Amino acid sequence: MSDSKLRFEVLGPLRAWHGETRLDLGPVRQQAVLAALLLRPDVTVSHYELTDGLWEKPPESNVLPVYVRRLRQCLDTSGEKPRDSVIVSDRGGYRFASGGVRLDVARLEEVAAVAASAEESGDLVAAVDTFADALRLFHGEPLTGLPGAFVQGERRRLEERKLLLLSRKLRAQLKLGRFDEVIGELSALVSADPPSEPLAALLMRALYGGGRQAEALEVFSDVRERLVEQLGVEPGEELRQVQEAVLRGDEALLGVSPRREPARRIRNELPATNGELVGRDRELALLVEDGDPESVSVDAVDGVPGAGKTTLAVRAAHRLRESYPDGALFVDLHGYTEGREPVTPERALRRLLRAVGVEDGLMPDDLDELSASWRAATAQLRLLLVLDNAESAGQVRPLLPSGPGSRVLVTSRRRLSGLDADRRVSLGALGLEAAERLLGRIVGAPRAEGERFAVRALAGLCGRLPLALRIAGARLQNRPMWTFKDLVDRMSDDERRLGELTAEDRSVEVALRLSYEQLRPAEQDAFSVLGLSPTAEFDRLSVSALLDCSPAEAERRLESLVDASLVQEPASGRYRLHDLVAVYARRLAGEMPEKAAETARKRVYGLYLGAARRASEWGVARFPLEKGGPFTGQRDASAWLDAVGDLPEVVSQAAEAGLDDLACSVAEGLVDYLARQQRYHECRTALQIALPLAERAGDERLVSSLRFCLGYAYGMQGQLDRARGWFDDALQAGQASGDRGLEARALGGLTMVDLIAGRHDLAIPGMRRVMVLAEEVGDRWLAERALSALGYLAYLKGEHEEALGHLGRARELSEEIGSPGMLARVLCHSGTVRLETGRFAEAVLDLRRSVELAEETTDGLLIASSLARLGAAELELGNLDAAFELQRRALTAVTEETIVGMESEIRNRLGRTHLAAGDPVAAREHFEWVLTTIGPDGDPQQRTLALEGLELTRQSVLRR
């Protein structure tokens, strides 16, 4: 059968249509059978040829007839009998009857013949168009995805045919002088691996014809390097001859005549570059990346004053210069220049128009007309333009050229958000090594090597800013009798530092002042109060407190200061000042009226105090909370404190500012928050800063409270002797003041020390007394602690129901208060009692909820203990995998400051889990760690458990 409506494509994926209906050709091996017949039309192909050409090894069964039958069903949609099919059965094989069937390969040869005829007749335009028509018949790799040696051979033949047609088209384009078309089409093809030598030769001819001789030779070098590296061969004769012809300028051999461009007035106005550009390799690489050849590329560089924006932009421009044949122009817009007004766009445009050859008499006066004239003058030019020191996007936009492929580099202290830029680079301080290297290069390496520590200190005092480093280096150059340490000593005082960073017309202070003076009044106020911030980093809440405005307004002002490059934003919503900018901000803050500065400080330290108290579980009996404020509860207050950084430094800054009560109160408020996160060192540091101030603080209770806090911090780490000493001091101070609440807490601390130390005969009556006092003064936090301790003591005596009774009351109290931390602690205790008394399912419920609540309140010690005991309960229920996962999580929750007894418990429990899993070797490691770490005088309970574990390990090994 033949059907003129049946057509096939093989110059890409194998596809077939009957009329407008796409046919499903089945699996790939079946398609390969069809391809083998299609590409040998009207020729009988034997069963052996088909099988051998399409299978790597003969199939287990004779599937060829099955494939042929399916193909007939697919292709012969009219329902003819097999003898009338397009696939005909001959003796020993099959034949594809091609009469009336359309095949894209046949069409390819028809079009190629027409193109060849046009080429031979000299009609090169028609030849190029017709060769292009032939190439458009390809729509991917021929016979995409089909298997077999036959298909691979045909695929290779068709690809070579495509390459030949492409080469003939490109040669015709070269003869027509269409060099840019050939270059554009060949550049990507020649970059493929391994490279095609014939195509590379054509690209070299096109580049030569386009006047780009150096690039033509680069193509040869690149292709040769890849051929040697990948194939171990040198380029062939044709490519070598083309190289020699390019070197000699042999246009006859190359078959092209180079394009002759009329002479243009070309200017290079780029400033000279001096020395090495240090520490800006990544930014430089970004700026010298290729731009869009079809449009004007704009790159914007912003940064803190003195960061080296101009130096970077000029260095990048010199790197790019050769790619811009129509000139490189430079305009200083004087947006931030001492004693100079910013250049108006009109003035800058007249300057640029003169640079490209437009006479003054032909220039209009109106800004819009000047800008239009500039665009018209640059429409056919490929320019490199550096606009330095811009004040605003409005100053820059009229100056952008219009020639496709042109490049504009803009520098400004502000982030020009109103400017459409392809790339933005923000410069801050150099890395420490780069800053030291820059100093060494200026002053001299031998001199710097002799004072390496002083060089590092000087780099830090300069804020690692290039301008400051260059000024400092210049001062040392001009004073050879000075050492680096001499200059470090002179700059160590904030009052002198900026003054020392001045050399003739270069001054860090002037640079900062110019930026500050261009701020709006509201932004100036915001920048000034940043000098009062107690931390290096700040956010909208702390700045709103300093300014006494809404957080939204504070954020608006901060973002404006970020745009002005006076404030950095290292993370979303977090801000900081560069070191030298901070020095300038502190100077401005020092010029504020004393009362206004003190009021702003009290507001910001009050914010920290409110957050610390909201994050604490110590209760309103000790911490009266003000209504309102930015924090609604423990979670958001804790999250804010997590982000603010060095909390002891906040206490220290409040102390230095003379705010004794606030310094002590903040330190007191932070104790529970820091202890929950096992940040005991920070906790003690803050308290030790505050303790000497307590005697003169207006709040008398702080004398006792801070001592209790120190005892609590030491007790949480297991340092019981130190804890007892501070609790004793707190008790005496509390009794002296007559404050029953302070007395109750101190007594609670001492009794807890007795409990942990194993003096239960003292702990039981002590806790009962603490319970009475806690109820008397209304201290619910202390009441929960006392009830939990009484429950634990009852458990140790074997009075399990009494223990659960105490813990039940503690649970009711914590739920009444609504404290997730208290509830987590009580559930951990009750789960532990149920675990040790064999009520494993109930223990799992309590301990699982305890883990969830402890994670919510970021209580690291409670997370670790609850996970370890939950794992033990799961082990008793036969859930070995769950036990391992939970106890390993418990071990990862341990930090360097975690009490040793807690880690010992985790390892003892994990050792038992390894034993249950039949791994005595891993179990022994944990038991031995416990014995080695706690020593003979350590926790007797954990020591006994570890010894028992080792004995069980020994027995397990013997049984094996």
pLDDT at res. 3: 45
The mean pLDDT value for 692-711 works out to 91
For 162-189, write each residue's pLDDT tens digit: 888 888 888 888 888 777 777 777 777 7
13 cis-preceded (ω within 30 degrees of 0): no
Please report the pLDDT score of residue 706 as a whole number.
94
So what's the pLDDT on residue 307? 87
Q: How far apart are CA 607 and CA 889, in angstroms?
A: 35
Q: What is the pLDDT of residues 130-167, one digit of tens each?
A: 888 888 889 888 988 888 888 888 888 988 888 888 88
The answer to whether residues 626 and 610 touch, using CB atoms and an 8 Å cutoff, is yes
Q: Tell me the pLDDT of the chain averaged across its residues.
A: 86
Q: Which of 771, 774, 754, 772 has the alpha carbon at shortest distance from 763? A: 754
Per-residue confidence band for 258, with pLDDT thresholds at 50, 70 and 90: low
Measured distance CA(203)–CA(462) in Å, rounded: 52
Strand ranges for 311-355 from DSSP E: 328-332
CA distance 876 to 112: 82
**pLDDT (tens digit, 9 = 90+) per residue, 511-521?**
888 888 888 99
Q: How far is Cα 372 from Cα 365, in angstroms, rounded to an integer? A: 12
Please state the length of the chain: 960
Q: How many helices (H) and strands (E) does the chain have?
A: 45, 17
H helices of 362-415, where? Answer: 367-377, 393-396
Residue of 619 and 956 predicted with greater confidence: 956
- pLDDT tens per residue across span 601-645: 999 999 999 999 988 888 655 666 666 678 888 888 888 998 888
Structure confidence by residue, pLDDT tens digits, 64-94: 888 888 888 888 755 555 566 888 888 778 8
Coil, helix or strand at residue 895: coil
pLDDT-based confidence at residue 900 (cuts at 50, 70, 90):
confident
Measured N-to-C along each axis, helices 702-716 and 740-756 cross at an angle, to the nearest 10 degrees, of: 20
Question: Does the pLDDT value for residue 434 go beyond 60?
Answer: yes
- 395 Cβ contact list (under 8 Å, min separation 6): 333, 335, 342, 343, 344, 345, 348
Q: What is the mean pLDDT of residues 104-131?
A: 87
The average pLDDT across 466-480 equals 86
- The one-letter amino acid at 899: I
Give residue 598's pLDDT.
93
Question: For 34-51, how does the pLDDT look when each residue is reduced to its tens digit (9 = 90+)?
Answer: 888 888 888 888 888 888
pLDDT at 602: 93
Instruction: Identify the three-state secondary structure at position 546.
Output: helix
pLDDT, residue 617, reads 82
Query: Is-contact 527 561, C-beta < 8 A?
Result: yes
Q: Is the pLDDT of residue 229 over 60?
A: yes
Question: What strands lie across the sheet with 87-90, from one edge to the other?
Answer: 45-46, 93-96, 87-90
**Cβ neighbours, 10 Å, residue 41:** 16
Task: State yes or no: pLDDT of 294 exceeds 50.
Answer: yes
* Mean pLDDT along residues 577-590: 87
Q: Is 203 in contact with 186 (CB distance < 8 Å)? A: yes
pTM of the model: 0.63
Give the integer Cα–Cα distance in Å for 265 and 276: 31
pLDDT at site 1:
41
Kindly report, residue by residue over 306-344, the tens digit of the pLDDT: 888 999 999 999 999 999 988 899 999 988 887 778 889
- Token pair recorded at residue 422: 């392809």
Q: What Cα–Cα distance (Å) separates residue 486 from each residue in 452, 483, 506, 580?
A: 14, 5, 21, 19
**For 213, what's the count of Cα atoms within 13 Å in the CB-facing half-sphere?**
13
Rounded CA gap, 526 and 560, in Å? 10
Q: Between 740 and 252, whose confidence is greater? A: 740
Give residue-wise pLDDT tens across range 185-217: 777 777 776 777 888 888 888 888 877 888 888
Portion of the chain with pLDDT greater than 70, in percent = 96
Q: What are phi and psi of 684, to 5 degrees?
A: -65, -40
Q: What's the DSSP call for residue 519? A: S
Residue 78: the pLDDT is 54
DSSP bridge pairs for 17: 7, 22
pLDDT digits (tens, 9 = 90+) for 746-774: 999 999 999 888 888 898 998 999 999 98
Whole-angstrom Cα distance, residue 351 to residue 894? 68
* pLDDT at residue 80, as a whole number: 53
Output the 3-class SS for 71-97.
HHHHHCCCCCCHHHCCEEEECCEEEEC
Is residue 371 scored above 90 in pLDDT? Answer: no
Q: How confident is the model at residue 2, as a pLDDT?
A: 42
Query: If you average pLDDT over residues 238-243, what whole number do you get?
Result: 83
* Token code pair at residue 597: 């500065």
pLDDT reading at 862 higher than 70: yes
The 8-class DSSP code of residue 573 comes to T
Report the side by side order of strands in the sheet with 21-22.
21-22, 15-18, 6-9, 102-103
**Residue 326 near residue 381, CB atoms below 8 Å:** yes
What is the residue whose two structure tokens read 């929960």? 784
With pLDDT > 90 as the criterion, what percentage of the chain qualifies? 29
Task: Check pLDDT > 60 for residue 941.
Answer: yes
The vertex-505 CA angle with 502 and 508, nearest 5°, equals: 40
Long-range contacts of 891-898 (CB under 8 A, 24+ apart): 891/864, 893/860, 893/863, 893/864, 893/867, 894/864, 895/678, 895/860, 897/678, 897/679, 897/680, 897/681, 897/717, 898/678, 898/860, 898/861, 898/864
Whether residue 232 is predicted with pLDDT greater than 50 in this model: the reply is yes
For residues 177 and 210, what is the distance between their CA atoms, to the nearest angstrom?
8
Distance CA(287)–CA(409), nearest Å, equals 8
Rounded to 5°, the CA angle 524-528-534 comes to: 145
Residue 668 CA to residue 615 CA, distance in Å, equals 12
pLDDT in tens, 796-819: 888 999 999 999 999 998 888 888
Three-state helix/strand/coil letters over 852-890: HHHHHCCCHHHHHHHHHHHHHHHHHCCCHHHHHHHHHHH
